[in-house]
Chain A
Amino acid sequence: NAGVTQTPKFQVLKTGQSMTLQCAQDMNHNSMYWYRQDPGMGLRLIYYSASEGTTDKGEVPNGYNVSRLNKREFSLRLESAAPSQTSVYFCASSAEGQNNQPQHFGDGTRLSIL
C-alpha cells in the first residue's frame, strides 16, 4: 500500500548542481503535483499535471522544470540549484474529475543547497 513514493528522502547539493526529484503513485490518479514547504509559509505549488502529457505552472515555478513521464510518474528538476531552493519538497496526487477528490502526499524530499 505504497501510495505516493518520493526519492531521494534527503539530498545535499552545491550551488549550480542539477538534480531530479522522483515521484511515483500507484493509485491510478490522473493529477499530480509538486509543492515546496518552507517554515512559516505552508505549502506552495510549484507545478502540477492534470493528466498524462500535460503540465502547468503553479505559484512558484521559477528555477524548476517538470516531466510527466507517464500516468504514474512526475519528476521535478532543478537545472542549476540555488540556496533559495533549500526546502522540503512534496509530491501529491489526486483522482481529479470526481467530486473534488483530495490530494494524497508523499513523505517529502529534504533538499539542502550549499
Chain B
Amino acid sequence: GQQLNQSPQSMFIQEGEDVSMNCTSSSIFNTWLWYKQEPGEGPVLLIALYKAGELTSNGRLTAQFGITRKDSFLNISASIPSDVGIYFCAGQKTSGSRLTFGEGTQLTVNP
C-alpha cells in the first residue's frame, strides 16, 4: 500500500533546540494531520491542516500544508523532555477516504 515518506526516522536533540520533520508523497492529499504517540498509548492528534499553504500553530508546534499538496512540515520550537515520542504524519485524499500514515519520527530530547 501507499506510504508517505516521513523523515527523519529518528532525532536525538538537546533540550531547548528546535525540531523539524516532514512528510512527502507522490500524490496529492487534501488533508494533512500530525499525531504524537507516547509509549503505551495511542496516537493523539496535534494539528490538522485542511488547505494548501495553511500554517497552523498549537503552542510550540507549527505545521504547514505544502502548496503542492504533496507535503507537510512540523516544527517544534524550544523542545522540552516531554516532547519525547513518535510523531506521525497522515494524509487524507477526500472526506471519508482512508488515512495514509508516514512511518513516524522517533524524537528523543536529552535534558
Which A residues are within 8 Å of any B CB, using their own CB?
A: 4, 31, 40-45, 48, 50, 58-60, 90, 92, 96-100, 102-108
Residues of B within 8 A of A98 (CB): 95
Judge whether B96 and A50 touch: CB under 8 Å: yes
Contacts of A60 in B (CB 8 A): 1
B1–A59 touching, CB < 8 Å: yes
CA A97 – CA B98 in complex, angstroms?
A: 13
**How far is A5 from B102 in the complex, measured between Cα atoms in Å?**
24
Q: Smallest distance from the beta carbon of B96 to chain A beta carbons, Å?
A: 5
Task: Please report B residues at the A interface, Cβ cutoff 8 Å.
Answer: 1, 3, 6, 30-31, 33, 35, 40-45, 48, 50, 88, 92, 94-96, 98-99, 101-104
Q: Is B43 touching A48 in the complex (CB atoms < 8 A)? A: no
Q: CB-CB < 8 A to B43: which residues of A?
A: 43, 90, 105
**Which residue of A is nearest B99, CB measured?**
A103
Give every chain B residue within 8 A of A99 (Cβ-Cβ). Answer: 50, 95
Interface pairs (10), CB distance under 8 Å: A42-B6, A42-B104, A97-B95, A97-B96, A100-B48, A100-B50, A100-B92, A103-B33, A107-B42, A108-B42
Residue of A nearest to B31 (CB): A100
**Taking A42-B88, A43-B88, A45-B98 as contacts, is the C-beta distance between A102 and B42 under 8 angstroms?**
no
CB-nearest residue of chain A to B9: A40
Q: Is the pair B101, A42 in contact by a Cβ cutoff of 8 Å? A: yes
CB distance from B87 to the nearest CB of A (A): 11
Nearest chain A residue, comparing its CB with the CB of B35: A105
Contact B3 A105 (CB under 8 A): no
Interface contact B95-A102, CB-CB below 8 Å: no
